[in-house]
Amino acid sequence: MPRPDFNLLAVLDVLLAEGSVARAAQRLRLSPSAMSRALARLRKTTGDPLLVRAGRGLVPTPRALELRERVGLLVQDAEAVLRPAEKLNLKELVRTFTLRTGDGFVETFGPNLIARVGKDAPGVRLRFVQKPDKNSGFLRDGTVDLETGVVGATTGPEVRARALFRDRFIGVVRIGHALSRGKITPTRYAAGRHICVSRRGLDKGPIDEALNPFGLEREIVTIVGGFSAALALARTSDLIATVPERHTGNLRAGMHSFTLPVPPPEVTVSLLWHPRLDADPAHRWLRGCVQDVCAEL
């Protein structure tokens, strides 16, 4: 049996990541015809079409989906083997890392993270960008170095994840609000005027499901796309915001927070990155910084 061409692994990795012959050719700096020939060789070698036409685009076959994560790890390991060993010198490191984070992360954890990074590696700059959805494409194409968030069904199967902390939802109102005094029962809580936080514009969520056994329903006055907007509204009105406790620590300063009178929804916030950066010393150091800062707070 002839020995396979291992160069095809790198081509397959990019093809499966891009799902497009043209984009894969652009990333590998090949002509579209050369990429088409490489795809033909891959199909012959694997005995599978790998990418098939669907409308104007290409979709992966079940075999391609099975191979995608394995191929990515193989390519990453090969690159690590062939890369010269370098000792990381943080004082001389000059690099910009892009972090895609959920609402409230920068306000709560950003100051300590920036201080920690600046002390260890003064030449490193952090760029924070908003995370309006769970699309893993930004990690895959290298636009983003790290993400924080809750792992879900839409998270790419190849994405690495490490838990940062558990978070629970709490109620928040302005100082002087009726719910800032006395015992809060499910009835008192549900009777208030509420802000619903939903990036998709939904008016129901886990809080409403927790109220169902009590035969209660919240009055949703407004729907916003993020926790900071919900807290800004609650700070200057009689509206009630329900937000994750640790994620919004600094955003809630000067407001009254209370434990929900129903079982509070809990989530695990994780650190996410693409496996291509798993062995990168600088990236590994930054992951440690994020973990340490989140643990301290």
CA 129 to each of CA 51, 110, 171, 190: distance values in angstroms, whole numbers, following the listed order? 32, 12, 27, 35
Q: How many helices (H) and strands (E) does the chain have?
A: 10, 11
Cβ-Cβ contacts under 8 Å for 27 (sequence gap 6 or more):
14, 18
Give me the pLDDT at residue 181, please: 94
Give me the pLDDT at residue 259, please: 95
Give me the pLDDT at residue 85, please: 57
Give me the pLDDT at residue 88, please: 87
Contacts 24+ apart (CB under 8 A), 71-76: 71/9, 71/12, 71/13, 71/16, 72/13, 72/16, 72/17, 72/158, 72/275, 72/276, 73/275, 74/9, 74/13, 75/9, 75/10, 75/13, 75/276, 76/275, 76/276, 76/278, 76/279
- Rounded distance, CA 60 to CA 246, Å? 39
Give me the pLDDT at residue 199, please: 82
Q: What is the pTM of this model?
A: 0.67
- The answer to whether the beta carbons of residues 15 and 27 sit under 8 Å apart is no
Give me the pLDDT at residue 205, please: 87
Packing angle of the helix pair 7-18, 62-82 (nearest 10 deg): 130
Mapped onto helix, strand or coil, the DSSP state of residue 231 is helix
Per-position pLDDT tens, the chain of length 297? 567 788 888 888 888 888 888 888 888 888 989 989 988 998 988 888 888 888 878 888 888 888 887 887 888 777 777 766 568 899 999 999 999 998 889 999 999 999 999 999 999 999 999 887 777 788 888 889 999 988 877 777 888 999 999 999 999 999 999 999 999 999 999 999 999 998 888 888 889 999 999 999 999 999 998 999 999 999 999 999 999 999 898 899 999 999 999 988 888 999 999 988 988 999 999 999 999 999 987
Pairing of the two strands 241-244 and 95-101: unpaired
CA 136 to each of CA 52, 82, 142, 289: distance values in angstroms, whole numbers, following the listed order? 22, 27, 10, 22
Cβ-Cβ contacts under 8 Å for 163 (sequence gap 6 or more):
268, 269, 270, 271
Domains of the chain by range and CATH? 7-82 (1.10.10.10), 90-148+279-296 (3.40.190.10), 167-267 (3.40.190.10)
Give me the pLDDT at residue 1, please: 53
